[in-house]
Amino acid sequence: MTLLRSDCRNLMPMHGPYDLILADPPYGETSLSWNRRVDGWMALAVKALTPSGSLWVFGSLRSVMATEMTFRVARLWHVQEIVWEKQNGSVFHADRLRHLHELVVQFSPASVRWQSVYQEVATTDDARVRVVRRKRRPLHTGAIASGTYRSLDGGSRLARSVQRFRNVHGRAIHPTEKPVALLDLPVRASCPPNGLVGDWFAGSAAAGVACWLAGRRYVGCKIDPDMAQRARDSLAAILPFPAGEPS
């Protein structure tokens, strides 16, 4: 585990190449001082990927559309997306619907064939073959018992593109902290075991926990020194940093 305190554009490229890059940049949708779009990071991230690497970007549809030209210039093409459904959300003054979802969008360099991009098929655990008890008409009179059979249409299935996870409001150390369970899906699906994940806008470094649980290596970066220390302390509570760990 490595957590850097710097502008991601300065240090993250030299710590690659990355099998997977996670990016949760400021969306630039509010007047908050920290919520300003960051320029120039995307082209650097593309160059820092391995030949089989891809990029997952968090954002609202508004923020993705506003930066669409940036993706084109970086020669990234859309692969797929996850819709994260939350139990509560936010509302802007002009909105007439409460925002209960965010997007996590996967991109791949246009110069790389899709077949060459690492992609482990993500499956869901709630559709596996299971024993089901069902009442059925008995062949004789008397007590009606239940019959047992194994579901014929069971088996693990593709994970759904809409994923519902509670956000971490009330216990988060960062205002836009993402749940570890949500981060687990792209980490396992798009980074090989023991591969390297680059978290360019680390926030609370929750992605570091997801990487540790999934058996992937992690390099994160946070520009705010106070938040970087809080993230580091949070990680250190469960993940002991080795001696001489960069900061």
The Cβ of residue 211 has, within 10 Å, a number of other Cβ atoms equal to 29
Q: Is residue 116 assigned to a domain?
A: yes
The Cβ of residue 199 has, within 10 Å, a number of other Cβ atoms equal to 31
The dihedrals phi and psi of 233, each to the nearest 5 degrees, come to -65, -40
| This prediction's pTM | 0.81
Q: Is residue 227 assigned to a domain?
A: yes
Q: Is residue 61 assigned to a domain?
A: yes
Q: Is residue 152 assigned to a domain?
A: no
The residue segments making up the domain with residue 56 are 2-122+159-236
Q: Is residue 198 assigned to a domain?
A: yes
Identify the bridge partners of residue 4 per DSSP, sorted by sequence position: 221
Distance CA 76, CA 71 (A): 5
**pLDDT tens for residues 5-47?**
999 999 999 999 999 999 999 876 666 666 678 889 999 999 9
In Å, what is the CA distance from 206 to each residue of 77, 97, 211?
26, 29, 9
Q: Tell me the pLDDT band of 243, cut-offs 50, 70 and 90.
A: very low
DSSP helix, strand, coil percent of the chain (3-state; round to 5) = 25, 30, 45
Distance CA 183, CA 55 (A): 13
* CATH of residue 47: 3.40.50.150
Q: Is 9 helix (H, G, I), strand (E, B) or coil?
A: helix
Q: Is residue 129 assigned to a domain?
A: no
Cα of 233 vs its chain's centroid, Å: 21
Q: Is residue 143 assigned to a domain?
A: no
- Contact at 8 Å (CB) between 23 and 107? no
When divided into structural domains, the chain yields a total of: 1
Alpha-carbon radius of gyration of the chain: 21
**pLDDT tens for residues 76-127?**
999 999 999 987 766 666 667 778 899 999 999 988 887 889 998 887 765 5
Position with higher pLDDT, 62 vs 28:
62
Q: Is 135 helix (H, G, I), strand (E, B) or coil?
A: strand
Residue indicated by tokens 């993500």: 122
At residue 86, the pLDDT reads: 86
Q: Is residue 166 assigned to a domain?
A: yes
At residue 227, the pLDDT reads: 85
